[in-house]
Amino acid sequence: MQWSLIIYCGMITFLTRFSMIALLKKDTFNKKTKMILSFVPSAIFPAIIFPLVFLDNSGDLNLENNPKILAAMFAVMIGYLSKNIYATIFSGLISYWILIFLIGY
Amino acid sequence: MNNKLKILIKGILDVSPLMIPVVPFGIIFGVIGMDLGIGPYMTFGMSIIVFGGASQIVLLQLFSGGASSLVILSSVGAVNSRHLLYGAVLSEHLSGLKLIWKIILSYIMVDQAFAVSNNYFKKNKKNKNKHYHLLATGFTCWIIWQISTLIGIFLGSIIPEELGLTFAIPITFLALLINDFKKLNNVIVMLVSGTIATLGYHLIPFKAYIIVAALSALLVALFITNINSKKI
Answer whether residue B40 shows pLDDT above 70.
yes
What integer pLDDT is reported at residue B118 of this predicted model?
87
Q: How far apart are CA B228 and CA B207, in angstroms?
A: 33
Closest to B84 measured CA to CA, from A43, A8, A29, A44: A29
pLDDT tens digit string along B131-155?
999 999 999 999 999 999 999 999 9
Answer whether residue A70 shows pLDDT above 90.
yes
What integer pLDDT is reported at residue A60 of this predicted model?
87
What integer pLDDT is reported at residue B42 of this predicted model?
95
Nearest-neighbour CA in chain A from B11: distance (Å):
19
What integer pLDDT is reported at residue A35 of this predicted model?
83
Q: How far apart are CA B79 and CA B192, in angstroms?
A: 17
Nearest-neighbour CA in chain B from A65: distance (Å):
16
Handedness of CA B67, B109, B154, B152 (dihedral sign): negative
Closest to B29 measured CA to CA, from B145, B112, B163, B174: B145
**Stretch A60-79: mean pLDDT:** 93
3-state SS assignment for residue A61: strand
**Stretch B201-222: mean pLDDT:** 88
Q: What pTM does this model have? A: 0.80
What are the domain boundaries of chain A? 1-29, 39-102
Q: Which residues of B touch A74 (CB under 8 A)?
A: none
The number of beta carbons lying within 10 Å of the beta carbon of residue A33 is 13
Handedness of CA B26, A6, A15, B85 (dihedral sign): negative
Question: Which comes out higher in pLDDT, residue B135 or B25?
Answer: B135
Provide the pLDDT confidence category of residue B232 given band limits of 50, 70 and 90: low
**Stretch B205-228: mean pLDDT:** 87
**Stretch A59-74: mean pLDDT:** 92
State percent of chain A over pLDDT 90: 50
Cross-strand partners of A61: A55
pLDDT tens digit string along B111-133?
889 888 988 998 898 888 999 99
Q: Does A7 touch chain B if contact means CB atoms closer than 8 Å?
A: yes
Q: Which residues of B touch A20 (CB under 8 A)?
A: 83-88, 90-91
> Is the Cβ–Cβ distance between B7 and B133 less than 8 Å?
yes
User: Are B87 and A59 a contacting pair at CB < 8 A?
Assistant: no
Closest to B18 measured CA to CA, from B155, B114, B124, B105: B114
Number of inter-chain CB pairs under 8 A, A vs B: 274
Q: If you ran DSSP here, which 8-state letter would residue B164 be given?
A: -
Q: If you ran DSSP here, which 8-state letter would residue A101 be given?
A: I
Q: ipTM of this model?
A: 0.87
Residues B179/B184/B187/B188 CA torsion (nearest 10 deg): -160
